[in-house]
Amino acid sequence: MQNIDYLYDLSHKIRLRILELTYGSGKNGAHVGGGLSAVEILATLYGAVLKYDVENPLDKNRDRFILSKGHAAIALFSVLEQVGYISKEELDTFEKNGTSYYAHASRSLSKGIEFSGGSLSLGLSFAVGVALANRRDGLTNHVYVLLGDGECDEGLVWESLMSAAHYKLNNLTVIVDCNGIQSDGFTCDVMNHNSLAEKFKAFDFNVEEVNGHNIKGLYESLTNKDLTKPNAIIAYTVKGKGVSFMENNRSWHHGSLSLEQYELAISEQK
């Protein structure tokens, strides 16, 4: 794998950029909490796991990353900037008039964006279709899709999992950013899933459970695939990770930062 210090440094840069973009968005605000919870997942994928070529973004053999929890686009944009798909000047327009970068991503393959996020659960069903098409075309690449745990309230998630298992899509890995909070409250109160791991296993997925902020554990889970069936990783994370007043605080599913809050949040990034 890539040097682990590099991956933690990448995570640090992504987290700083998310905070900078949130502050720069002014009163529009951003989905900062769920973006921060996904940082190490994205850093590990783009820094050590995914096969892609920034210079050849349409390469049919590239791995696909599909952001189903579309409200975490701010984190996706930030990692795509770090690896060279998006320039700083482009991303500085986030949530400003005329921008191409706003709360949810719009598909742009030249910028490394595989899917237009928005309606929850659609990314997973799209990923199942992409995995099927890739296998039909004889490709040996892999499809990774990131869900939120609140997103798993959606029935289409379970229809998609059933299809993935039925077709034995061993070229598909589902990652759940399990931060325990959705827009309406704590997931255990809104819709208690009990054990998502056991539910995925019941759909005949190979399942790994991991601390979603531990890069070594994430890398091992992402690369320890069952080659006979679809794979799933339940990544336990903290919403608003890295910012004291945001962590596990449902108020920061979406929000704006004052100058004082921004400076405090930045000062906490070590």
User: Residue 178: in which H helix or E strand, if any?
Assistant: strand 172-178
> Tell me: the pLDDT tens digits for 64-90?
999 999 999 999 999 999 999 999 999
> Tell me: the pLDDT tens digits for 16-30?
999 999 999 999 989
- Alpha-carbon gap, residue 164 to 159, rounded angstroms: 9
Instruction: Say if residues 139 and 63 touch (Cβ distance below 8 Å).
Output: no
Q: Tell me the two tokens of residue 7.
A: 């991956």
Bridge partners for 66 per DSSP: 145
What's the CATH fold of domain 4-267?
Rossmann fold (3.40.50)
Rounded to two decimals, the pTM is 0.95
The domains of the chain are located at 4-267
Q: Which residue has the higher pLDDT, 248 or 190?
A: 248
Assess whether pLDDT exceeds 80 at residue 227: yes
- Alpha-carbon gap, residue 170 to 251, rounded angstroms: 38
The residue whose two tokens read 């820094």 is 47
- Alpha-carbon gap, residue 89 to 92, rounded angstroms: 5
Task: Give the three-class secondary structure for 186.
Answer: strand
Assess whether pLDDT exceeds 90 at residue 8: yes
Q: One-letter amino acid identity for 214?
A: N
What phi, psi does 173 have (nearest 5°)?
-125, 125
- CA dist 147 → 21, 25, 174, 242, 263 (Å): 22, 25, 7, 21, 30
> Tell me: the pLDDT tens digits for 168-198?
999 999 999 999 888 887 888 788 888 999 9
Q: Which residue has the higher pLDDT, 155 or 119?
A: 155
* pLDDT at residue number 182: 83
The residue whose two tokens read 């799209």 is 126
* pLDDT at residue number 181: 86
Count the neighbouring beta carbons within 10 Å of the beta carbon of residue 17. 22
